[in-house]
Structure 1
Amino acid sequence: MNSAPLGLSAANLPPRVQRTLERALILVSEELDHGMQRLVEEFERELFRLADMSRNPGAETGYMRALRSFRLNRADLLPSFMVQVESGLAGLRSPATAPPPVPVEPEAPSFRNLSLLETSVMDEDTVLGEIASRHEGRATLALHLLGQRFGVLAGSPAFDAARLPLGPYALCRALRTAAVGMELDHDARLLLYRMFDRQVMPGYERVLDRLNELLADQGILPALVFVPVRARPAPVEARKDADEPPPAADRNPGEPAPGPGGRKPEQRLYTGWPGQAANADGAEDDDAAFAMLQQLLSGRRELIDKLRAERGAGGRRQMDTPDLMKALRGLQHGTAARRGDLPEIKRTILAQARQQYGEASALSPQDSDTFELVGLLYEQIENEIRADAPTSSLVRELQLPLLRLALLDRAFFLHNNHPARQLLNTIAESAARGTDQGDLDRAMVGPLQQAVKDVVERFDDDPAVFTRANAGLQQHMQVQARKAETLEKRHIEAARGKEKLEMARRRAAEVLDKAVGDRRLPHFARALLNQAWADVLTLTLLRQGEESEDWRQQVAATVDVISACLGEEGAGGPELAGHVQTSLSQVGYHEDEAAVIAQRLTATADDGDDPASRTELAMKLKARVRLGEDKVNAEKPQLPPRTAAEQARYEQLRVLPFGCWMEFSTNQQGDVVRRRLSWYSRITDNALFVNQRGQRVAEFSLDQLARMMARGQARLVTAERGRLVDRAWQATINALRSFAGRGDEVGTMRAGT
C-alpha cells in the first residue's frame, strides 16, 4: 500500500530551507495555474470533439466514457498535480537514488511479464520522456543554475534535470500520477500529456527564470552566473589524430556519444527535421563571429589591394548605400535577378551610375564586401543543391532580395536563426543533393513557391517581409515534421514489435533446450519441436506473458511432448494430441497439417516409419514462413571479425541517441544521401532508417554500419553540419580564411620581384 504524499509542513526540513521551498511552491502554483486551467478546458473540449467526429462506435464510446470520468474529477487535477510537486520538494533531503543511467551495454533481457500489453506502458514513458527531454533542451542554462541552487538547499551535489524536484521530468511524473488518479484510460492519458505540453509547458522557461530570481533573492547563490568556456579550434594535425572515437567503455554511462573524429559532446549530433528553424545563437557567439568576419574581410581587402596595386583603381566616385538600394530595387524583376547573376547585376548598377553622374563609380568597401559575401555564400549553396530539383530555381530568385536585405542588415551573416537565413535554408534544403526525388513532399512545392513570390514582390527594404514569409513557411514545415514523426513512430513501433518477437523466440528456444537437456530425440521429432512447437511457445509468450497460466501450461505440455517423443511409458495420448493440434492451429497451421504434426509429436517417433509421409511433411515445413522469420538476415554471409577501427565505431553506434542523422555514400563521385537513424536494438542489432518524410528506407545491422563507417561509406551528421546554409556559410568562412591567409605571401612575392 502506497503512503500518502509527504507535504512540506511534515518534511522536517531546516526552517530557512522550508520557507524557501514554500515560496518556490507558491510561485510555481501561481505560474502554472492559468495554463492548467486552460489545459482542463481544452482537454474536455478535445474529448468531446473526438467523440463527435469518430465514425467508430467503439471509439466514440471510449471518448465519451473518458469525458464523463474527466468531468467528474476535473476539479482534482490541479490539486493532485500540485500535491505531487510538493511531495517532490518535501523529499529534497530524503535519501533517493538517481534515475539509472542508460547502460553502455544492454542488461540481460528479462522475459518476465513479456506481453503485448507492455506497449501501453512504453508509450506513456515515451511520450512523457520526449516532453521532458524537449523542455530540458530548451532551458538547459536555467535548469543548470536551478540545479546548483537546489543542491545548496539539499546540502548535496547539484541536481541534474532528471532529479530536480521542479525539473521537467518531475512535472511529467506528477502529471502522470494525477492522471492515473482520475481514472482515465491509456489513450485519454496520452492525449492529456500532449495537451499539457501544448498548454502548460510553453511558459516553463519563464517559470525557471523566476525560480532562479526567487532563490537568488533568498540568498541562495545570488552571484551564480554561467560563463561558457569557448574551446579553441584544434589544429589540423590534432584533428587527424582524433579520427577514432574513444571506446564506449572509456565514457561514463549516459555521456553523449562522440561523433566521427572523436567529437566532444558540445559538437552534438544533428537530430532535427529538414527545414526546421535553428536554435538562437548566444550573444558571445555573435560578437566572436562579427569580429572574425571583420578580420577576414580586412585581410581579403588587403590581398585584393596588393593584387590590383598596379591597376590604378583610385579616383572613382563612391556610390552611397541608399543610391545602391534604389538601383537594386529597379532590377528586382530583371533577367539577371531571376538567374541570380550578381556580377552582372553589379556591372549593370555601376554602368547606370556612370551614365547618371558622368564618371566612373565604385561601391563602398562595406557594400562591395556584402556583394562578395552573398556571392560566395551562393557559390557554396549551389554546390549543395541539385540543378534538376523542382525548387532549385527558387534559391536563385531569392538571391537579389537577400542581397538587398544583407546591405541593410548584416546580422543575416551572423545569426543562424535570422528569419531570412532560415527561409533560405528551408528553400535550399528542399533541393539538397543529399535527398532523393521522393524525399520532397510535392505538396510543399506550392508553399515554397509562394514564400519566395511574397518576398520578391513585397520586399521594399522592410525586413519584416522576410519574417512573415518565413513564419508562414515554418508553419507548413512543422506540419510536415509532425507527419514525418507520426509515420516514423509507426515504423519504430513495428521494429519494437519485431524485437519483442525475437526476444520471445530466444526464450522459447531456451525453454526447449532446457526441457530436452542432454537427451537424444529422434531427428525428425526435434525438427518439429524446433520449428512448429517453438512457434507455439513464442506466440503464447507474446500474447500472455511469462507469468501467465497459459505459458505455464505450454511449458508443461512441452515436457509431456518430449516424453512422448522419447517413448516414455504413459506419455502422449489423445488429450495431449488434441492440445498440440489446437495450439498449432492458433499459430496458423492448417487443420490437416496440425493434426499430422500433433500425431508425430505425441506418439513414439520412429525415423524409419513412413518415410514418404515424413518427407512430405518436411517439405511443407521448409516452405512455410515461420513466425517472425527474416530469411534475408538468416541467410547473410559470415563476416570476418571486426577490426579495431570497426569495433570502435560499433561501440559508438550502440550508445547513439535515437533520431540522429547519417550520410551514406551513393557513388564514387562522393554524392551522399542523408538518412535518419530512428531506432536500433541492442538485442537484435538491427537499426531502422527513415527519410525526411518519415518513410522507412533501410534497415542495417549495427555491425554493417560500423564497417561502412570505418570504410568512409557512412558518417554521422553533427549539429554544425546539420543545416545546409550553415554548412555553406562555414565553407565560405573557411575559403575567406584561406584567401586572407595568403596576403603576406603575395606581399612578399611582390617585394621580391
Structure 2
Amino acid sequence: MHNDGKVVPINKAQAMPSPLARLPVILLQVRDKAAQQLKQGLQELFDNADDTLFEMADKARNSVDHNIFFEAMRDLRLKRKNFERGFIEQLFEAFANVGQMGCGEQQLLPVVSYEALPGASSDELEKGVALEAMLGKVQHRDGLALGQLTARLGELLGKRLDDRENPLGPAMLCEFFLQAGRSLGMEIRVKLIILKLFEKYVLSDADQLYGEANQLLIATGVLPELKAVPSRRPDARDVRARPPADTGHPADYQADEGSLVAFAALQKLLFAVRGSVCPTLEASAQTQPISTRDLLRLLSHLQQYVPEPEVEDDFDLRNQLEQLLTRVSVKSGRSRVVDDADEDVINLIAMLFEFILDDRSLPDSLKALIARLQIPMLKVAVLDKSFFSRGSHPARRLLNEIASAAMGWGKCDDYQRDSLYLRIEQVVQRLLNDFVDDPAIFSQLLAEFSVFTNDERRRCELLEQRTRDAEEGRARTEIARQRVADTLNLRLLGKVLPEVVVQFLQQAWSQVLLLACLKHGEQSAQWQSRLQTMDDLIWSVGLSEGTEAGRHLLEQLPGLLKALREGLSDAAFDPFITREFFIQLQALHVQPFQGNAGGRPSLSKVGALIEVREAFVLSPAAPTESVSLPDDDPDVLKVLQLRVGCWVEFQEDEENTLRCKLTAIIPPANSYIFVNRTGLKVLEKTGSELALEFKRGGVRTLDDALLFDRALASVIGNLRQLNHAK
C-alpha cells in the first residue's frame, strides 16, 4: 500500500529531530498516551484483518480472487510487526518535528491532500475518494475536540498550528498508515478493505484520543478556559438504541453521517454541472422548490413510461424530467425546481448510466434492458445517499451482480428464451412495477437473483473443471506420445532389423509404452520394465549363432516372452491378434539353430530385414506457427498478462463477436483454452496466435471489475478534470 495523494513526505535528510529533552514533558506524555492507544487500535485492526480477508476469499467468485485475498492475509501476517513499528516511528518523528516549530527552523511536517491529480488512474481516484470520506467523517464527528487539541499544542509551543500539522490529526494519522504500508503489495480492493479497517479500529476512536490528550493539557493549565467537548460515545449508543425519528421522509430511510459526508464531497464536484435540470419558463417566473417526496412522485410517474428494450429510442432522463417539471410549472404558474442535493443526485445517476451504456464490457444486447433501471436507481439514491459510498448497498450490489452475470452473455436468435435474459428482465420489470419508495425490494431481488446466479455459477464451474481436466489430460497424452516416439526412434533409427519386429514395436509395443508412461510416469518401475523388454527383444533378434550370447539365447527366451505377453495384456491387446507375431518371433529365434550358415533368419520364412530410416511419429505433430513475434512485442506482453478467469471478446466477422473466458493455459504447447459462460470449450489458441489476434484488433480483454464502481470512478475523474479546467 503506498500513498498516491499529493503528499510532501517528512524529509528525513534535512530534518534533525530534537532531543527528547527539548520537548515539554507534557507533550511527551500526550505522545506516549496516544501511542499506546494507537498501538492497541492497530493490533485490533490486524487481529480482525485475517477474518475479514478470509471471509472475502470465501465469497470469491473465482480462484484468482480467492488467491488474491489469501496472499494478502499472508503478506499482512509477515509484515505486521514492521508495519506497526513504522507507524509509531513516524508518530514519534512528527512529535519531534512539531517540537522544533517556532525555533526558526523550516517546517518539515507533511502537507497532506488526498485529492487525486488530473489524469490519475481509477485506482487512485477510488482510493482518493475513500480517504477524503474518512477525513471528512473524523472532521465532522470530532472536529471540535481536534480543534481544541490543536489550539493547546500551539499554545504549548508558542506558535499557531493548523489541524493538518497536528501529529494526532486524521490527515497525519492516515499519512503514517499509508507510509507504513508501502511495502504491502496489494491490489486496490485489498487496499480499500485495509483502509476501512483502519477507519473502524483507529479513526473511530479519535474522540477518546483527543479527549485524553486535551485532559492531560488542561491538567497542566494549557487553555483550561476552552469549553470541554462531551464524549460522543454514550450518545452514540443511545442513538443506536433509539428508533429513527419520524421525519416524514418516504420510508423513513436514514443515511448515516459518514454517507452524508461522502456525498457532500461529491456535491463539490457536481457543482460544475448544476443547473441542467430546470423548467423552461420566463426568467421572471417565481421559483418554488419541489420537495423530495413530490420529486419521487414525478419519478414514479416517469417510471411507468420507460420504453421497452426493443424500442429504438434513447431515454434521456434529465430531458424527460425537465419536460415534466415544465408541465407542472405551467399549471401552477410558478417555476418548480428541484433543490441542489436532489439535482446533484439526478446528474450523478445520469452520468453513471451514460458510462454504463457506453461501456464496452457490457454486452450491447443487454444494454437496453439495463438502461431501464435508471429511474429505480435514481429513486433509491434520492432516498439514501449511502448508495454512492457504500459498496454493500443492495441496489448497488444488484446492478453489479447483473453486470457480472451478463459478462459472458452473447445475443442469439432466440435470446428472449435465454434463462439469464429472462431473469434480468424479470428483475427490471419487478422494479418498474413495484418500487415506489421502499428500498427493501432491492434486498429481496438481490437475494433471489443471487440464488439464480450461484446455481448457474456452480453448473458452469463443474463444466469448466471437466473442460480443464480433459485439456490437461490431452496435453499429458501428447507429451507421453512424443516421449514414446523419441524412445523408439533412439533405439530403431539406423538399425537393420526384421520388418515384423519393427512393425510390432511401432504399432503394438508403442501403445504398451504409452500406457505405462501415462499411468505410472517415466520414473516408474513399470516404464523401466517395458523399456527393458523392448531392448531385450531387439537384442534377441540381432544375435548370431556363433556368439556366446547367441548360445545362451534359449535360456533367456521364456522370460522375454512372458514380459511381452504381460505388457500386451496390460494394454488390453487381443491375444488372438498378437498370436501371429509370436509365431513369427519363434521362427526368428529358432532358425539360427537350424543350420543357417549366415546366422540370420530365412527371409522367405519370417520376412525381410529392413533398415529403419524414417523417424516414427506416434501422433500427428502439432501445427507449427507460421509467424513469430519478438518477446518484447507489446501484443506478446498483452498475452502474457492474461490471467485464468479473465473475459475476452473475439471479433469473428464484421457483425458477430464471441465472448469467452480463459479457463486454462496448457504447457508445453502454450495453449490457451476458452469457454463460454456455460463452461463449454469454444476456442483454443496458442500464445503466438493470440498475440497476432491482438495485433490485428481481432480480440480485446473485457474489464470484469464491478460495473458501478468503475462507472463512479470514471465520473469522478471526469468531474475533477472539468473542475480543474475551470
Distance 1:527 1:439 in 2: 56
Match of 2:272 in 1: 299
Give yes or no for the alignment of 1:722 onto 2:705: yes
| TM alignment of 1:408-557, pairs within 5 A | 408-428=383-403, 435=410, 437=412, 442-445=418-421, 447-516=423-492, 519=495, 529-530=505-506, 532-546=508-522, 548-557=524-533
Q: Deviations over 1:395-445 (max 9, x none)?
A: 244222111112223343444543212212333455568635499994445
1:539 offset after TM fit, Å? 0.4
Do the aligned partners of 1:658 and 1:678 also contact (CA within 8 Å) in 2?
A: yes
Confirm whether residue 639 of structure 1 aligns to residue 610 of structure 2: no
- CA distance in 1 between partners of 2:287 and 2:690 (Å): 60
CA distance change for structure 1 residues 401 and 488 in 2, over 3 Å: closer, same or farther? same
1:255-279 Cα distance to aligned partner (Å, 9 max, x none):
xxxxxxxxx9756899xxxxxxx98
The reply on whether 1:358 has 2:358 as its aligned counterpart is: no
Distance in 2 (CA, whole Å) between partners of 1:313 and 1:532 is 99
CA 1:524–1:575: 2 relative to 1, 3 Å: same
Query: What secondary structure is seen at the aligned counterpart in 1 of 2:289?
Result: strand
Q: Using a 3 Å threshold, how does the CA distance of structure 1 residues 399 and 283 change in structure 2: closer, same or farther?
A: farther
Q: Which deviates more from structure 2 when the two are superposed, residues 521-530 or residues 552-561? A: 521-530
Cα deviation, residue 537, structure 1: 0.4
Structure showing greater radius of gyration is 2
Q: How far apart, in 2, do the equivalents of 1:524 and 1:652 lie?
A: 52
Report the alpha carbon displacement of residue 324 of structure 1 after superposing the two structures with TM.
Answer: 0.9
Report how far residue 675 of structure 1 moved.
Answer: 2.3
Scaled by the length of structure 1, the TM-score of the pair is: 0.53
Contact residue 408 and residue 676 of structure 2 kept, 8 A = no
Q: Amino acid of the residue matched to residue 342 of structure 1?
A: L
2:680 is equivalent to residue 699 of structure 1: no
Alignment RMSD (CA, Å): 5.7
Unmatched 5+ residue regions in structure 1? 1-23, 33-126, 159-215, 238-263, 271-277, 745-753
TM-fit CA distance, 1:698: 1.7
Amino acid at match of 1:486: L
Matches within 5 A, 1:65-76: none
State whether residues 350 and 362 of structure 1, in contact with CA within 8 Å, keep that contact through their aligned partners in structure 2: yes
Pairing 1:690–2:672 present: no
2:698 is aligned to: 713
Once structures 1 and 2 are overlaid, which stretch shifts more, 597-606 or 469-478?
A: 597-606
* Shift in alpha-carbon separation, 1:556–1:448, aligned structure 2, 3 A: same
The alpha-carbon deviation at position 559 of structure 1 amounts to: 0.2
Answer yes or no: is the 8 Å Cα contact 1:281–1:416 preserved in 2: no
Q: Distance in 2 between matches of 1:564 and 1:668?
A: 65
The alignment partner of 2:683 has SS state of strand
Extract unaligned runs of 5+ from structure 2: 1-42, 52-57, 92-111, 122-183, 200-257, 590-599
Aligned CA distance change for structure 1 residues 389 and 535 (closer, same or farther; 3 Å): same
Judged with a 3 Å threshold, the aligned counterparts in structure 2 of structure 1 residues 364 and 222 are, in CA distance, closer, same or farther, namely closer
- Map of 1:376 onto structure 2: 351
Aligned length: 503
| Further displaced range: 570-579 or 376-385 | 570-579
Task: Give 1:712 shift.
Answer: 3.9
- 1:664 corresponds in structure 2 to 650
Say yes or no: does 1:323 pair with 2:310.
no
Assess if the C-alpha contact under 8 Å between 2:376 and 2:432 holds in 1. yes
Q: CA deviation at 1:473?
A: 1.3
**SS of residue paired to 2:664:** strand
1:664 partner SS? strand
Question: Which amino acid letter does the alignment assign opposite residue 481 of structure 2?
Answer: R
Amino acid paired to 2:693 = M
Alignment CA distance shift 1:269-1:404 (3 Å) = closer
1:316–1:360 contact (8 Å) kept in structure 2: yes
2:650–2:657: 8 Å Cα contact kept in structure 1?
Answer: yes
- Partner residue of 1:404 out of 364, 370, 379: 379
Q: In the aligned structure 1, how far is the partner of 2:421 from the partner of 2:280?
A: 49
**Length-normalised TM-score, structure 2:** 0.54
In the alignment, is residue 561 of structure 1 matched against residue 546 of structure 2? no
Looking at structure 2, the residues matched to 458 and 280 of structure 1 have their Cα atoms a distance apart, in angstroms, of: 38
| Deviation sequence 1:237-272 (CA, Å, 0-9, x none) | 9xxxxxxxxxxxxxxxxxxxxxxxxxx9756899xx
3-state SS of the aligned residue for 2:517?
Answer: helix
Q: Could you tell me the percent identity over the aligned residues?
A: 24
* Matches of 1:415 and 1:344, distance apart in 2: 28
Question: Could you say if the C-alpha distance between residues 223 and 269 of structure 1 is closer, same or farther in structure 2, counting changes exceeding 3 Å?
Answer: closer
The one-letter code of the counterpart of 1:704 is E
**How many angstroms does 1:523 deviate by?**
8.1
How many Å apart are 1:699 and its aligned residue? 1.9
Q: Secondary structure, in 3 states, of the residue corresponding to 1:505?
A: helix
**Per-residue displacement from partner, 1:541-567 (whole Å, max 9, x unpaired)?**
222344554333311111023335646
Alignment of 1:208-287 (within 5 A): 223=88, 282=196
Deviations 1:336-369 (A, max 9, x none): 6998552464145314422552223233343333
Inter-partner Cα distance in structure 1 for 2:514 and 2:317: 67
Distance 1:430 1:678 in 2: 17
Structure-2 change in CA distance of 1:565 and 1:443 (3 Å): farther
Q: What one-letter code is carried by the residue in structure 1 that aligns with 2:410?
A: T
Contact 2:118 2:721 in 1 (8 A): no
2:98 maps to which residue? none
- Which residue identity does 2:431 align to in structure 1? V
Cα contact 2:328–2:336 (8 A) shared by 1: yes
Deviates more, 1:585-594 or 1:530-539: 585-594
What is the correspondence of 1:152-191 to structure 2 with a 5 Å cutoff? none
